Structure formats: C-alpha cells, structure tokens
Amino acid sequence: MKFRTKYFGDRQFYRHIFLVMLPIMIQNAITNFVNLLDNLMVGRLGTEEMSGVSIANTLIFVYNLCIWGAVSGAGIFTAQYQGKADHKGVRSCFRFKLMISTLLTVLAVVLLLTKGDVLVSLYLQGEGDPAEAARILQFAKDYIAVIVIGLIPSAVSQAFSSTLRETDNGVPPMVAGLVAVGVNLILNYVLIFGHFGAPRLGVVGAAAATVASRFVELAIVAVWTLKNPDKAPFIRGAFRSMRVPKQLCLEIARKGFPLMLNESLWAAGVAYLDKCYTTRGLDVVAACNISNTFFNVMAVAIIAAGSAIGIIMGQQLGAGQVEEAKEDAPRMLMFAVLLGIGVGILYAGIAFVAPQLYNTTDSVKSLATDLLLVTAAFMPIEAVLNGSYFMVRAGGKTLITMFTDCGLLWIVQGTTAFILSEFTDISVIPLFALVEAGMIVKLVFSLYFVAKGDWARSVVEE
C-alpha cells in the first residue's frame, strides 16, 4: 500500500471525522474557555484564592474522570449497539450509566465532605509561609462545601450526553453546554465580585455559579431527549424500570470496570504528579494551576479527535466492518499527529502571554511560562496517545488500555516523579520535563498494540 493511501484518507474520511468531532470540540472548547475565565476571575482575587480553588478542582477532576470512565465502559457497547441499530441495547446501556454514575457520586460527596481537608493538605507540604498554606486550605474547603451540590446533576447529564453522542446526536449536548457555560460566566461575574447588588462571595461565588450551570445543562439535555424520541429512540420506556439484562451487566463490568479503574487511577496519577511538583514550593501550586487551565483549553481538539476516533471505530466494529477499521487506523493516527503539531505550535505561542493575565507574582508567572513551553513540546505525542487509547478501547481491549494509560503513567512517570522529588534537589522545570518524557515509553507500547490489530473486533455479537 502506498504511503499516501495508507496514512491519509479521502475527503469523505475527514468529513466523517469532523462531523463527529466538531460538536464535541465546540462544547468542550466553550466549557474550558469559560473555566479559564472562571480561573482568571478567581485569580484576580489573589494567589491564595486561586491556589485553593485549583487544589479543590484537582480533586473534582479525579471524580469527573471516575464518572467518565464509568459511562465510557458502557459507551463501548452503546456505540456498537448503535452500529447494528439495536435500540434496546442502547437503552440498557443508558440505564447502566445512570445507576453507576449515581453510586459513584454518592461515594464522592461523602469522601469530599468528610476527608476533603486531609486531601487538600497533601498539596501544601512544600516550602512557604504556614499562614499562607492555612488560608489556601480554608479557601479550598469553602469551595468544596458548595461545589459538591453540582456533582449530582453533572453525573446524570454525562449519562445523557455520552449516550446522545454515541448515537450520532452530538449537537444537543453541545447546545446544552453552550447555554450552561453562558450561565456560569454571567453568575461568576455577579457572584465572585458582587456586581448588580449581589454579595461579594469570592471562591464560594465561583462554586455557586458552577453548580447552577450544571443544573441548567442537565435540564436542557434531558428535555431535548425526552421530547425527541424519534431521534433518540433509546429514551422510549427508559424510565419504566431500571432493569438491565444480567449478561450485559456482566459484560459491561468485565470490559468497563478496567476502564473505570483506569480513569480513576490515571486521574489519581495526574494528581500525584502535581503533588510531587508542589514539593518545590507553594509558587508551584499556582504555576501548575495556570499551566493546567490553559492545557484544558488548548487540548480540546486533541481530546475531541480521540473521542471521534473511538465513536467511529466502535460503530464500524459493531457493524462488522473489521477490515475497514484496521485500514482506517493508521489514517486516524496520522490525523492525530498533524493535529498535535498544530496545537503544540499554538500552545507555545501563548506561553509568554497567558501567565500575564493573572494577579500573581513574577516568579509564579515565570514558572508557568516554562511549564507551558515544556507541555507544548510533547503535544504531538499526547495527541497520538489519546487517539490510540480510544482506538484500542473501541474494540473492548480495556486491559490493554489500562496498561498503556494509567499503568505506564504510574510505573514510568510516577516512579520518575517520586524519585526525583524525594531524593534529589532538581528544580521543578527539569523535573516536569523528565516526567513528561516518560510519555515516549507509553507511545512505543501504544503503537505496538494498535499495529497488532487484535483490538478490531465486535463486542456485541449475539
């Protein structure tokens, strides 16, 4: 096969990717852009407020990925049931998502309300003023006390939105996200700073705005789904019971539990890496917050492309188009490479501007710029890893994705971060760069499993 035909598709190929990818990307882009504005608004209050909210959101990030992993496990089956037009199977997967999301949310709320201060304190072990650390802890606790209210509507909304995307209805979740982030942005402005006669609530106002936006998002996506059963046939009779066939539950658990565990361990791994970096001082907490916030904004195209790859591959496999999926695999990854290069260039371009938007010290701004530049250099690898993860996952090979994703993160990057942070005096920037370089090992294994090809199979055959 010629290089061009092997690694590059035709116009229809890329049109299909963009049709699936763009609604996801637009929703995530606007959501993360508003999160950026939220972060900037909190950052105008001061470094301590920004650091407290940042640590709290790191813990919420772990919860969010647990939910995402849970619904994605069922999503493997949803996409393949959609590929074979089995609406009853899609309905069962939707019910499963609702139940597992509710259970995980209850556990998360109990943990955050009873042990939140202990978890936040893990990030305040570096050098710095003890009084400053105490203020950061209090701001984080105030934020958590309110933000947990929004976890319930957020979890239910994910069950709706993920099922709609997997059944080729990506626009309604996008619209719901757009409206929700608009509500969030307006309420941030009003409640954080006390405009239009409202009380000045600071970090509590930021949390309250986010909670309100979560309820708005759920209301829109749920109402659209209920009113459009012809476009979303899985919703017919979805709430007459919560029964899910025992065999499907077992299959989702077998395929989905490693995925949920992977997302949980991956999120915990990222949180652990941040903890290792913060051993170099409280300034690093603020700098990591700036870097992570802008990464979430700039990487939306990469994340959306990975999701699109997983959905397209899942539908192909569910329809029995195994050979077509294998042939499309290298084209998908080449698309990811080119996308990663473009995003990396843009990311490097904002590295010198973004930190200046915050009301913080010059040392924090300098650290944040360096972190952004290092991250930009590894963006193409990040894109390929994301694409290969979703590709292998589409065929139900969740144990392999668990090894290449969270397994190697802990084994390679986690071990590197632990050794360098605990047993050397290396500064945070070379520490961060060496840990990021661990992604090269993940890349080698990921490409090997993609090339092997045994991931290309149906998981919903009778």
Triad 335, 295, 438: Cα angle to 5° = 75
Residues recorded for the chain = 462
| Separation between Cα atoms, residue 198 and residue 200, nearest integer Å | 7
CA distances from 207 to 18, 149, 159, 213, 441 (A): 34, 9, 22, 10, 38
46: left (phi over 0), alpha (psi -120 to 50) or beta: left
H or E, element range at 79: helix 47-83
| Separation between Cα atoms, residue 162 and residue 296, nearest integer Å | 19
- Is the confidence at residue 454, as pLDDT, over 60? yes
Q: Token digits for 177?
A: 């996200």
Q: Are 449 and 455 in contact (CB under 8 A)?
A: yes
The per-residue pLDDT for range 52-110, each reduced to its tens digit, is: 887 888 788 778 877 877 787 777 778 777 777 778 888 888 888 888 888 889 999 99
Return the residue matching tokens 């050794």: 419
The per-residue pLDDT for range 113-162, each reduced to its tens digit, is: 888 888 888 777 655 667 778 888 888 888 999 999 999 898 899 889 88
**Percent of the chain with pLDDT strictly greater than 70:** 95
215: left (phi over 0), alpha (psi -120 to 50) or beta: alpha
Return the residue matching tokens 């993609």: 450
pLDDT of residue 126: 59
Q: Token digits for 220?
A: 């829109």
- Is the confidence at residue 462, as pLDDT, over 50? no
The per-residue pLDDT for range 324-380, each reduced to its tens digit, is: 888 888 899 999 999 999 999 998 988 898 888 887 788 889 999 999 999 999 999
| Separation between Cα atoms, residue 331 and residue 328, nearest integer Å | 5
| Separation between Cα atoms, residue 284 and residue 366, nearest integer Å | 10
Its pTM surpasses 0.85:
no
Nearest to 401 by CA among 450, 365, 441, 344: 450
